[in-house]
Amino acid sequence: MIQDGAVMSVGDALAAARRQAGLTITQVSQRTCIRETIVRGIERGDYSACGGDFYARGHVRSIARAVGLDPDEMVREYDASQAPPHPITAADVFQPFTPVRLKERRRPNWTIVLLAGLVVVAGVVGFRYFSHSNTPSTSQIASTHHTANSGHSAKPSPAAASSAPASPAATQLQVTIVAKPGEVTWAELTAQNGQVLYQGDIGASVGVPRETVTTVTGIRIQLGNPGGAYLYLNGKQQALTTTQPVTLTCSPTACT
């Protein structure tokens, strides 16, 4: 990064912006939920305490936003200075391999509608015919009444007792991330097949106060600032016990 004619590293730029904004490292730590030791290390260009490039990018993004710099520009500067000669980003790895098809509004097929109506009419006529042909006569009713009064009660057949269908097991998985008031968190939600369902910031200040994805497979969630969001699985809130970047795997029953 070039500022005032001098080339500055990402850490130097973040430190200079923090001082210009009149903030201390402690205040930046409180605003971003990032430990002071990590903030101090990033300003010195030391990312070893971040736990990897993914978390380092999240920290740089959060600190840049807190001190008034462009988060995306700072992440690009970080990638340019830290990434290998041929960097591979998370978006490249988890890019959806199938295009999303938009639903097209189709006109109704009146031939199919007409055939369906004929089938319904035929079914009603057949039902009435067989119901009439199977109506018992008066003698049959009397015989049945006599049999019922003879003390021999009819037992239901096993087939009738087991005819009720079993309830299908619910397999749908829905994850919702809601930003806390005044907070912003970076999130990436990935399906089991590697398709990225969502990637970006979540917060009222960035115009995305919440994000919901639904799938029938498991979901992997990466959060840059877990302390700044609520996580719901199928409508049930999940506990986020850490304020540090975290990776969770969600099944239809729990996120761990």
Enumerate the domain spans of the chain: 2-87, 173-250
pLDDT digit string, tens, across residues 53-71: 999 999 999 999 999 999 9
Beta strands 246-250; 219-223: pairing state:
antiparallel
DSSP state letters, 132-159: HHTPPPHHHHHHHHHHHHTT-PPPPPHH
Asked whether the predicted pLDDT for residue 51 surpasses 80, the reply is yes
Count CB atoms within 10 A of the CB of residue 238: 17
Let me know: does 213 contact 231? Beta carbons within 8 Å: no
In this prediction, residue 178 carries a pLDDT of: 93
User: CATH: 3.40.50.20, 3.30.70.330, 1.10.260.40, 3.10.110.10. Which one for 2-87?
Assistant: 1.10.260.40
State the sign of the Cα–Cα–Cα–Cα dihedral 50, 220, 94, 227.
Answer: negative
pLDDT of residue 89: 56
Please count the other Cβ atoms lying within 10 Å of the Cβ belonging to residue 205.
12
The CA angle 205-211-214, to the nearest 5 degrees, is 175
Q: What percent of the chain has pLDDT over 70?
A: 70
CATH numeric code, 173-250: 2.60.40
Count of other CB atoms within 10 angstroms of residue 4: 6
Q: Where does the pLDDT of residue 252 fall: very low under 50, low under 70, confident under 90, or very high at 90 and above?
A: confident
DSSP single-letter state for residue 255 = B
Nearest to 245 by CA among 55, 74, 105: 55
pLDDT tens digits, one per residue of 165-222: 444 455 788 989 999 998 889 899 889 888 998 998 998 988 899 999 988 888 998 8
Retrieve residue 211's tokens. Answer: 């994000």
Confidence band of 6 (pLDDT split at 50, 70, 90): low
Per-residue confidence band for 19, with pLDDT thresholds at 50, 70 and 90: very high
The DSSP output letter for 245 is: -
pLDDT of residue 256: 86
Report the pLDDT averaged over residues 86-112: 56
pLDDT of residue 38: 96
pLDDT at 12 over 90: yes
| Residue 164 in this model has a pLDDT that exceeds 60 | no
What span, in angstroms and rounded, lies between the C-alpha atoms of 217 and 172? 8
Q: Is pLDDT at 157 greater than 50 in this prediction?
A: no
pLDDT of residue 188: 92
